[in-house]
């Protein structure tokens, strides 16, 4: 794991001192509210419906056990005892006081955590595959590059006041687990003739105008990453629209100018910027990469996992969902679901965070990851320890085996916390999860990716859900639009945006509509191996649309 060096520490302390002074200057009137706003946002401080919210970064989704303990402490001392893990590898504290935030930031700094550029019109926390460095299918570890981008983008003089926020995601595997096509810039590590480089995508984003990113360069040599990113950002900084915030994202810039014109602008900038970089970044990159090596994995009695599966059905059911292959066969990665039916997706209490930290310290080489589906991963666990990890998770109330299934719902905060919401999303997620578990269909339905957003900004990425739900406001009543067939993209199928099914449903009508839809799937599928998404691909949308609206048209 990356350890902050003296430079990083001095930077962070200085930055926190600056923010403390900014809060004081806001209170003294030196800064107006308008002037203070971007400054607090670039330090992770949002003003929400009920309170200030602090969004802290979990760079490339990696946390040490000690860092997790500090997050637990923040939740307990300054919030209401819990935190909310988001889809972009951040954690949000929803109930903090503005004047406490400088103290919270100082406390987080002691373990190298920060909230820099987690909000605002600047380059955000770079996200990546939660299994990075452990996954068996990886071309190269994306985390050293993500760290390099963190350093380069942090307090970048030119790009703190962009037209709009800017999000970069990077994947090291052909099986994209970072949704790169839905980002402003998506980077995919590729190999060409023995050289490592990037396939560079630009202009993806969801929100009110969902677009998948287009290819800007099929192969960028990895040594040119920083000047090339700088060129993209410069072109966007000048050309991005500033007259209408809904048209300000780079996806609109690329769409309005066309990818070829935009590419030309980037290449023009690149020619100017390239000579200003000495190449010293490559030396730093090598030093960074040396900190992302695998821990010293110990020899162990890996068979114990398989033998326990034979005799303990509860363990076997959990392991079938939670355990995935590791680079080294006698180890595994464990996914811990933060989607306990009836609780808020992505929420973790201070006790749960501490339990996870303890489990990571004892069995997981001190390492934890936060996934973009709001779950937690223990990337390296010796197979012989898996049954003990399961037992410890059971005690902490974290042993749900619903990963990748219906109740593993991604939902944004919606009406419960968010000032922009037009509908509730968390309570709906809770009702859906509970309903399908109660009627016992969840396991039969199998792999299903359901995503909910509480307004058109699409924080829940509903467009990419196999089933997506978007909560809107229609004449004062909540109304939920359903999309089908969305997909985040993997090695066999590119990312896809789901199709709207038709008129929306009232809050109470959503669960029955989903039940009709999913019962239709169970009837139509080619056996249990055919997932919902595969059935949609084979049969088209018509039978599913018919099922969704069956009752409505019967009544009419």
Partner 1 sequence: MSVLVRDDGFHAEDFDGLAVELAPTTAPEEIAALVANAGLVAVRFDSFADGRGFTLGRLVRTAGYTGRLRARGPLIADQYAMARRAGFDEVEIPAEIAARQSEADWRARADWQAHDYRKRLGYKGCDSLLA
- Evaluate the CA torsion angle 343, 346, 350, 352 in order and state its sign: positive
Total residue count of the chain as it appears in this document: 556
* Of the candidate residues 417, 436, 480, 549, the single one contacting ligand HEM (CB under 6 A): 417
Output the CA–CA distances (angstroms, integers) from residue 474 to 387, 416, 477, 480, 503, in the order listed. Answer: 50, 18, 5, 9, 11
Nearest CA-CA partner of 215 in 244, 257, 186:
186
* Of the candidate residues 454, 465, 468, 485, the single one contacting ligand SF4 (CB under 6 A): 454
Nearest CA-CA partner of 101 in 119, 120, 114, 86:
114
Using the rule CB under 6 A, is 346 a contact of ligand SF4?
no
Query: Quick one: what does residue 306 bind among partner 1, ligand SF4, ligand HEM, none, with the CB cut-off 5 to 8 Å set by partner type?
Result: none
Nearest-angstrom CA–CA distance, 289 and 143? 8
Q: In angstroms, what is the minimal distance from the CB of 100 to ligand SF4?
A: 23
Nearest CA-CA partner of 485 in 550, 434, 543:
543
Output the CA–CA distances (angstroms, integers) from residue 227 to 259, 384, 486, in the order listed. Answer: 19, 46, 34
Strands (E), 117-247: 127-128, 168-171, 185-192, 195-202, 214-221
The residue among 442 and 488 lying less far from ligand SF4, judged by its C-beta, is: 488
Which residue, chain included where needed, has tokens 């779950």?
Answer: 375
Using the rule CB under 6 A, is 153 a contact of ligand HEM?
no
Q: In angstroms, what is the minimal distance from the CB of 536 to partner 1?
A: 43
Residues 115-174 that bind partner 1 (CB under 8 A): 121, 148, 151-152, 154-162
Query: Quick one: what does residue 203 bind among ligand SF4, partner 1, ligand HEM, none, with the CB cut-off 5 to 8 Å set by partner type?
Result: none
Binding mask 233-262 for partner 1 (x = CB under 8 A): -x--xx---x--------------------
The residue among 25 and 328 lying less far from partner 1, judged by its C-beta, is: 25
Interacting residues of 309 by C-beta distance below 8 A, sequence separation 6+: 315, 316, 319
**Which residues is 103 bridged to in the sheet?**
none
**Number of shown-chain residues binding ligand HEM (CB under 6 A):** 22
Binding span for ligand HEM by CB under 6 A among 264-272, 323-331, 454-462, 535-543: 454-462
The residue among 94 and 335 lying less far from ligand SF4, judged by its C-beta, is: 94
Query: Quick one: what does residue 118 bind among ligand HEM, partner 1, ligand SF4, none, with the CB cut-off 5 to 8 Å set by partner type?
Result: none
Q: In angstroms, what is the minimal distance from the CB of 55 to ligand HEM?
A: 8
Which residue, chain included where needed, has tokens 């209408």?
Answer: 244
Binding span for partner 1 by CB under 8 A among 280-288, 333-341, 439-447, 529-537: 280-288
- Phi, psi angles (nearest 5°) of residue 324: -130, 160
Using the rule CB under 6 A, is 49 a contact of ligand SF4?
no
Interacting residues of 213 by C-beta distance below 8 A, sequence separation 6+: 180, 181, 182, 183, 184, 185, 186, 201, 202, 203, 204, 205, 251
Q: In angstroms, what is the minimal distance from the CB of 459 to ligand SF4?
A: 3
Q: Which residues bind ligand SF4 (CB under 6 A)?
A: 412-414, 418, 420-421, 453-455, 457-460
Q: Which residues bind partner 1 (CB under 8 A)?
A: 7, 10-11, 14-15, 18, 21-22, 25, 29-32, 34-35, 38-39, 121, 148, 151-152, 154-162, 226, 234, 237-238, 242, 268-269, 272, 275-281, 284
């Amino acid at each position: 794991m990356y350890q902050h060096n003296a430079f990083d520490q001095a930077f962070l302390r200085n930055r926190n001192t600056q923010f403390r002074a900014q809060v004081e200057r806001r209170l003294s009137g030196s800064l107006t509210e308008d002037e203070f706003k971007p400054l607090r946002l670039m330090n992770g401080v949002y003003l929400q419906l009920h309170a200030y919210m602090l969004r802290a970064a979990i760079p490339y989704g990696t946390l040490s056990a000690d860092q997790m303990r500090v997050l637990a402490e923040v939740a307990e001392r300054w919030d209401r005892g819990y935190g909310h893990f988001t889809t972009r590898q951040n954690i949000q504290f929803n109930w903090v006081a503005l004047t406490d935030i400088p103290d919270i930031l100082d406390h987080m700094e002691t373990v190298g955590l920060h909230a820099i550029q987690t909000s605002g019109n600047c380059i955000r926390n770079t996200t990546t595959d939660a299994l990075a460095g452990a996954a068996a299918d990886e071309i190269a570890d994306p985390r050293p590059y993500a760290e390099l981008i963190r350093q380069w983008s942090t307090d970048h003089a030119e790009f703190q006041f962009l037209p709009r926020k800017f999000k970069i995601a990077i994947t090291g595997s052909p099986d994209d687990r970072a949704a790169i096509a839905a980002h402003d810039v998506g980077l995919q590590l590729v190999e060409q003739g023995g050289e490592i480089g990037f396939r560079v995508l630009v202009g993806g984003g969801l929100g009110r105008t969902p677009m998948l990113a287009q290819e800007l360069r099929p192969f960028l040599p990895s040594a040119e990453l920083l000047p090339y990113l700088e060129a993209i950002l410069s072109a966007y900084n000048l050309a991005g629209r500033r007259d209408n915030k809904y048209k300000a994202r780079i996806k609109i810039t690329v769409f309005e100018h066309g990818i070829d014109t935009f590419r030309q602008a980037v290449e023009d900038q690149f020619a100017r910027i390239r000579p200003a970089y000495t190449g010293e970044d490559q030396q730093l990159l090598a030093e960074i990469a040396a900190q992302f090596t695998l821990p010293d994995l110990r020899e162990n009695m890996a068979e114990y996992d398989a033998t326990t599966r034979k005799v303990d059905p509860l363990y076997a059911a959990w392991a079938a969902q939670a355990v995935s292959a590791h680079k080294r066969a006698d180890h595994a990665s464990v996914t811990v679901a933060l989607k306990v039916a009836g609780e808020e997706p992505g929420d973790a209490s201070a006790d749960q965070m501490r339990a996870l930290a303890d489990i990571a310290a004892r069995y997981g080489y001190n390492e934890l990851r936060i996934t973009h589906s709001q779950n937690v991963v223990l990337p390296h666990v010796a197979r012989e320890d898996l049954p003990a990890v399961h037992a410890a998770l059971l005690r902490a109330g974290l042993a749900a085996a619903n990963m990748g299934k219906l109740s593993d719902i991604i939902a944004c905060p919606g009406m419960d916390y968010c000032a922009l919401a037009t509908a509730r999303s968390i309570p709906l997620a809770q009702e859906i999860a509970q309903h399908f578990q109660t009627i016992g269909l969840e396991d039969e339905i199998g792999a299903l990716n359901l995503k909910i957003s509480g307004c058109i900004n699409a924080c829940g990425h509903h467009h990419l859900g196999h089933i997506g739900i978007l909560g809107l406001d229609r004449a004062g009543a909540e109304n939920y639009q359903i999309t089908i067939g969305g997909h985040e993209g993997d090695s066999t199928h590119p990312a896809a945006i789901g199709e709207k099914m038709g008129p929306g449903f009232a809050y109470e009508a959503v669960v029955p509509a989903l039940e009709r839809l999913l019962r239709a799937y169970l009837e139509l599928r080619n056996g249990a191996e055919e997932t919902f998404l595969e059935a949609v691909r084979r049969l088209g949308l018509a039978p599913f649309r018919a099922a969704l609206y069956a009752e409505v048209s019967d009544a009419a």
